[in-house]
Amino acid sequence: MDISVTEFKANCLELIRKVEEGGEVITIRRRGKIVARLEPPKSHEKEVKPWEKLRGSGVLLAEPGESVISDEDFEAMR
């Protein structure tokens, strides 16, 4: 859907609902030039924080019972 800035301003809440509920993309123009595009997010899932995307991806390289910190580093942290 293509609309003018004036039309968007007059009907913005209704247009946002159309995008939210129907997934419609709305192109907003001023004097014939595209100035903005209103579209649904790429994923409808809950937004995940960047550090949450890493959850479960780490690998522990130490053997069971083995420390990942050397004795010297451990003493230095005291």
Q: With CA atoms as reference, report the closest residue to 9 among 32, 33, 36.
A: 36
Per-residue pLDDT at 36 = 95
Output the six-digit token pair for 77: 């942290």
The class of domain 1-42 in CATH terms is alpha beta
Per-residue pLDDT at 73 = 81
> Mean of the pLDDT values across residues 60-73?
77
Per-residue pLDDT at 44 = 56
34 φ/ψ angles, rounded to the nearest 5 degrees: -70, 125
What pLDDT digit, counting tens, does each position of 6-57 carry?
Answer: 999 999 999 999 998 888 999 999 999 999 999 988 765 567 788 888 888 8
> Mean of the pLDDT values across residues 55-75?
79
For residue 27, the surrounding DSSP H or E stretch is strand 26-30
Helix ranges (H only) for 1-61 are 5-22, 50-53
Can you give the residue ranges of every domain in the chain? 1-42
d(CA 5, CA 41): 21
2 pLDDT more than 90:
yes
